[in-house]
């Protein structure tokens, strides 16, 4: 199928997927020395991702790829007190615009399949009515973020298009917490994002 597909200098497509994101929490000395809050947790929360693909051929086995996309997700933090009471913030409804840029390295094509690796980074901009979570408006997050991403996938060639399932892991580089020194963020020194994205691409 599509035997000359990879000869074109550039092509376009679209992607959609399911994301899972959480915060990596760095605790303060105050948290380790107090006895009111036993745990502060962040769990992977599901989201939905959709975007377009702009792909430029660099060589026989490498491409440069930009994937402007929107990611609709939750950001939640759970405070568990010493009497086992859990304070759960409500759904924060984050809407991110994301601009991933990748180098895509592909294996040689075998029949109608081709494995590949992705490596690059993403600029993230929160477009929602940001600021505070619903913890009585006591946690405040920054609106921009930067991540390093790595992923794997398989290109499958069909008669009229190319279909690719892929999975990516993102590692946030920026501390997302804006310190206000209140009863909640006094326990937290830093929050950085971690994410998994399983997506289907059509090109």
> For each of the chain's 203 residues, which pLDDT tens digit applies?
989 999 999 999 999 999 999 999 998 888 888 878 888 888 888 999 999 999 999 999 999 999 999 999 888 888 888 776 666 554 467 889 999 999 999 999 999 999 999 999 999 999 875 544 444 456 778 889 999 999 999 999 999 999 999 999 999 999 998 887 777 778 888 999 999 999 999 99
Rounded to the nearest 10 degrees, how much is the dihedral formed by the CA atoms of 172, 45, 75, 136?
-150
pTM value surpassing 0.85: yes
Q: Which residues contact 73 (CB under 8 A, 6 or more apart)?
A: 19, 21, 45, 46, 47, 48, 94, 96
State the Cα–Cα distance between residues 202 and 191, nearest whole angstrom. 34
State the Cα–Cα distance between residues 78 and 40, nearest whole angstrom. 6
For residue 171 the two structure tokens come to 């590692």
CA Rg value for the chain: 20
């Amino acid at each position: 199928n599509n035997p000359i597909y990879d000869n074109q200098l550039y092509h376009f497509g679209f992607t959609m997927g399911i994301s899972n994101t959480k915060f990596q929490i760095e605790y303060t000395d105050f948290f380790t020395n107090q006895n009111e809050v036993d745990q502060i947790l962040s769990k992977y929360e599901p989201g939905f991702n959709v975007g377009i693909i702009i792909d430029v051929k660099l060589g026989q086995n490498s491409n440069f790829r930009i994937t402007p996309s929107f990611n609709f997700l939750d950001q939640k933090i759970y405070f568990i007190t010493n009497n086992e009471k859990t304070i759960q913030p409500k759904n924060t409804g984050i809407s991110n615009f994301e601009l991933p840029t990748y180098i895509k390295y592909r294996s040689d094509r075998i029949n109608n399949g081709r494995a590949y690796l992705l490596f690059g980074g993403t600029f993230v901009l929160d477009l929602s009515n940001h600021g505070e979570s619903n913890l009585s408006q006591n946690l405040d997050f920054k609106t921009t973020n930067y991540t390093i991403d790595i992923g794997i996938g398989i290109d499958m060639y069909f008669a009229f298009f190319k279909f690719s399932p892929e999975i990516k892991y993102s590692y946030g580089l920026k501390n997302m917490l804006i310190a206000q020194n209140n009863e909640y963020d006094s326990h937290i020194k830093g929050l950085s994002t971690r994410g998994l994205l399983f997506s289907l691409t059509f090109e």
